[in-house]
Structure 1
Amino acid sequence: MTTNTPFLEKVKTKAHLEDVFDARDIAEVVFRTMRDLMTTEASQRVGQELQEKHEAIPTVDEVPKGEVADLWKDTNPIVSFLSRVRPPLKFDADTFLFRITQEGSLPRGVTAETVVTAIFSATKDELSKERVEEIDGFLPDKIQQMWRQA
């Protein structure tokens, strides 16, 4: 099991996925797509808040901290660098969902809408009202509605 189990268990259950590894892989794609729409500063604020929240939670049995914050970070150094130097991308809800479908390797019978809503719901549980509202401002129409309803 990974250190992301509580968050990933929520995603797995709400998205009707078979295991937390699918949840982890899809969450990384959704987070990357979200970050692409955000300014570097906003993305860093979200990452910092996720990190601080989990640093404040005591660990049991030496379980590592930082679960969702680790998923939020871009592990590809080239993509990470480019995202810091370029302005936010602009794309619509259909493109957002298309990216999730194409890059997320969704299991048969699971829609992009289902996994996005599950990840949004689990993510909002991890963030302050200020960060939730800030992210809301970057999302395109239908995706923004999904964020609000999650």
Structure 2
Amino acid sequence: MPARKVSPNEQAFLEKVMQRSSIPDIYDARDITIVVLRSLRDLMSTDLADRTESDFTDEKIALLWKDDNPIVAALSKLRPPLKIDTETFLRRIRQEGGVPKNVSPESAVIAVFSAVREELSPERNKEIASFLPDGLKVMWEQI
């Protein structure tokens, strides 16, 4: 199956992720971004996840935020936010994200977080930072 085309705004967003983490391929950057965003959403209440989605001004970038699996998306609306620590979050990125060997999960997370922060309002950035465990909060606030 051919890979889905990347829109110009989505490409610019993913290129930031690539440059900030040394991910060599735009499609790897997209896959890792999706896993980081899914993991971040899992830490949030449904209300905050919905507010964050509506805060994205570009539709294609907002699609990266939204879970494309309808069953997972429905279940995530029913369950409470997950309580996981930074190490568990990073392990999930390492295992599910397909992070290249020369890229650390930490640098991938920081790259995605910083690109996302640029897309969201200051209020939303502050709201997201307020619920993150300490290690992820430090990564979220790095630029």
**1:138 shift after superposition:** 2.1
- 1:24 aligned partner: 30
- 2:70 aligned partner: 77
**What TM-score comes out, normalization by structure 2 length?**
0.93
In 2, Cα distance between equivalents of 1:149 and 1:17:
18
**What TM-score comes out, normalization by structure 1 length?**
0.89
AA partner of residue 111 (structure 1): S
SS at match of 1:125: helix
- 2:6 aligned partner: 2
* Backbone CA RMSD of aligned residues: 0.9
**Do structure 1's residue 102 and structure 2's residue 108 form an aligned pair?**
no
**1:67 shift after superposition:** 2.1
**1:149 shift after superposition:** 1.7
- 1:60 aligned partner: none
SS at match of 1:109: coil
Structure 1 residue runs of 4 or more that deviate by more than 4 Å after TM superposition:
none
In 2, Cα distance between equivalents of 1:36 and 1:138:
12
In 2, Cα distance between equivalents of 1:86 and 1:141:
23
AA partner of residue 7 (structure 1): F
**1:109 shift after superposition:** 1.3
In 2, Cα distance between equivalents of 1:139 and 1:100:
16
AA partner of residue 26 (structure 2): V
In 1, Cα distance between equivalents of 2:49 and 2:111:
20
AA partner of residue 43 (structure 2): L
SS at match of 1:137: helix
- Equivalent residue pairs, number: 137
Q: How does 1:82-97 map to 2 (within 5 A)?
A: 82-97=75-90
